[in-house]
Amino acid sequence: MAKMNFGGVVENVTTREEFPLSKALEVLKNETIAVIGYGVQGPGQSLNLKDNGFNVIVGQRKNSKTWDKAVADGWVPGKTLFEIEEACEKATIIQYLLSDAAQIAVWPSVKKHLTAGKALYFSHGFGATYSDRTGIVPPKDVDVIMIAPKGSGTSLRRLFLEGRGLNSSYAVLQDATGRAMERVIALGIGVGSGYLFETTFKREVYSDLTGERGTLMGAIQGIFAAQYQVLRENGHTPSEAFNETVEELTQSLMPLVGENGMDWMYANCSTTAQRGALDWWKPFRDATLPVFKKLYAEVAAGNEAQRSIDSNSKPDYREKLNQELKELRESEMWQAGATVRSLRPERNK
Ligand SMILES: NC(=O)c1ccc[n+]([C@@H]2O[C@H](COP(=O)([O-])OP(=O)(O)OC[C@H]3O[C@@H](n4cnc5c(N)ncnc54)[C@H](O)[C@@H]3O)[C@@H](O)[C@H]2O)c1
Ligand SMILES: CC(C)(O)[C@@H](O)C(=O)O
Ligand SMILES: [Mg+2]
Ligand SMILES: [Mg+2]
């Protein structure tokens, strides 16, 4: 474990240099890892583990689209692909990667296979932190660990195939075997993490729920929609409004931020743009600060978790979500976006 200085605060991190894949393979050489669920994280984590040489099987409901997807991805029924309970029985490490709501419903079937010495692995602090709402209370004689990739399972797989890695946080909630820490770090390296930073289950779920509702997904759509509306109300065309709101950000400016930070992106824009951005970022911060404070309070009170449990436990939750995504897709802004994307020269090759 290395100590790294993050803007003046020293934190524990683990990198592939100090914990190479060979060490991870050695630590887990006698383990059977069952990845339960084959939605978004399931494929990314299980395929990365398999390609890295670990002993991994998949547990998924038969007669489901994702069972068929697992078969298409090369998992073999009866050999490396099983019904959820059968996979849990065979496993020494159960990676619980069902949706957070489904984890509640399926918990009794998983719990009965959590015999002494096994490890229960999550990719989110949700189930265990909000145990009063989820009912997920692991037995005391198993390790309870977490690797939470900080991004989509789709990116986890794509970056792995490019020889890169998505960063993940890690935590140990329960160390029953004395091996929980080496198990979790080895799994973090195994699923393809770029580096691992330390957290707790509670800190992970609070920050993750805030981030995805905030700047990563919710706030960004909100601020896009507000600017697009103002431009349209003032007579700008959809293509101009979309380009000035979204396309330039994703195609030109955010890659520069990702590469070298905000000041570097600013420095690569005109002095006119720099003057305006440096003047306006603080009013935007001040306007949104109360919303972020309210959001964090809702997360900490458990209200966001409860809302997610209630809506995503309904039988028709997928149809409802798809309907809301359709509304977003069919809004003028994102329809303009579809046309803009179709005009990117690389799409016409
Ligand atoms: N989506 C991501 O990229 C991402 C990123 C980081 C962490 N996570 C966390 O990883 C975990 C898995 O998330 P996900 O987005 O991959 O899940 P998901 O929503 O894609 O669902 C995963 C699987 O759950 C199955 N499932 C749904 N309801 C079920 C039920 N009642 N019984 C049995 N199976 C059922 C689905 O068939 C699917 O295979 C969650 O804890 C999530 O918070 C997800
Ligand atoms: C990919 C995200 C948003 O980081 C994850 O937290 C999720 O819930 O899907
Ligand atoms: Mg999340
Ligand atoms: Mg997240």
Sequential pLDDT tens for the chain (349 residues): 899 999 999 999 999 999 999 999 999 999 999 999 999 999 999 999 999 999 999 999 999 999 999 999 999 999 999 999 999 999 999 999 999 999 999 999 999 999 999 999 999 999 999 999 999 999 999 999 999 999 999 999 999 999 999 999 999 999 999 999 999 999 999 999 999 999 999 999 999 999 999 999 999 999 999 999 999 999 999 999 999 999 999 999 999 999 999 999 999 999 999 999 999 999 999 999 999 999 999 999 999 999 999 999 999 999 999 999 999 999 999 999 999 999 999 987 7
Please name every residue paired with 143 in a beta bridge, in sequence order, or none if there are none: 119
Give residue 4's identity as a one-letter amino acid code. Answer: M
CA nearest ligand 1 atom 29, residue = 102
Q: Please identify which of the residues 50, 113, 118, 124 carries the catalytic annotation.
A: 124
- Could you tell me the CA-to-CA distances from 105 to 77, 99, 181 in Å, in that order? 24, 10, 28
For residue 335, give every residue at least 6 positions away whose Cβ sits within 8 Å of its Cβ, in sequence order, or none.
238, 329
In angstroms, what CA-CA distances link 169 with 122, 148, 155, 285, 341? 11, 5, 16, 27, 33
Spatial contact of 231 and 202, defined as CB atoms under 8 Å apart: no
Tell me the residue type at 253: L
Q: Choose the residue to mutate in 69, 99, 124 for probing ligand 1, maximizing ligand atoms within 8 Å of C-beta.
A: 99
- Give pLDDT, residue 72: 98
Atom number, ligand 2, closest to the C-alpha of residue 124: 6
For residue 305, which phi and psi values (nearest 5 degrees)? Answer: -65, -45
> Is 270 marked within a binding site?
yes
**Cβ atoms 143, 181 nearer than 8 A:** no
How far CA 41 is from CA of 203, 252, 260, 263, in Å, comes to 20, 28, 28, 33
pLDDT at 247: 98
332 is in an annotated binding site: no
Helix (H) or strand (E) holding 297: helix 271-300
Alpha-carbon distances, residue 66 vs 16, 57, 60, 98, 302 (angstroms): 31, 15, 7, 11, 30
Using the mean position of ligand 3's atoms as its centre, give its distance from the Cα of residue 212 in Å.
Answer: 6
Ligand in closest contact with the CA of 209: 3
141 CB-near residues (< 8 Å, 6+ apart): 116, 117, 176
User: Ligand 1: residues within 6 Å at CB?
Assistant: 37-42, 60-61, 64, 66, 97-100, 102, 105-106, 123-124, 126, 148-149, 152-153
138/200 Cα distance (integer angstroms) = 16
pLDDT of residue 280: 98
The dihedral of CA 193, 199, 202, 204: what is its sign?
negative
Is residue 208 marked as binding?
yes
Residue 327 pLDDT: 98
236 catalytically annotated: no
Place of tokens 């689209």: 65
Contacts with 133 (C-beta within 8 Å, 6 or more apart), sequence order: 302, 305, 306, 309
Which atom of ligand 2 is nearest the CA belonging to 208?
A: 6
How far apart CA 200 and CA 158 sit, in angstroms, is: 27
Count of H-run helices and E-run strands, the chain: 19, 10
The answer to whether the predicted template modeling score (pTM) of the entire model surpasses 0.90 is yes
Query: How many A from CA of 274 to the centre of ligand 4?
Result: 31
Q: Which has the closest alpha carbon to 301: 217, 206, 200?
A: 206
Q: Give me the interface pTM, i.e. the ipTM.
A: 0.98
- Ligand 1 centroid to Cα of residue 96, in Å, is 9
**In the prediction, which pLDDT does 347 show?**
83
Place of tokens 């003047």: 279
Let me know: does 28 contact 49? Beta carbons within 8 Å.
no
Is 248 labelled as part of a ligand binding site?
A: yes
Per-residue pLDDT, 27: 98
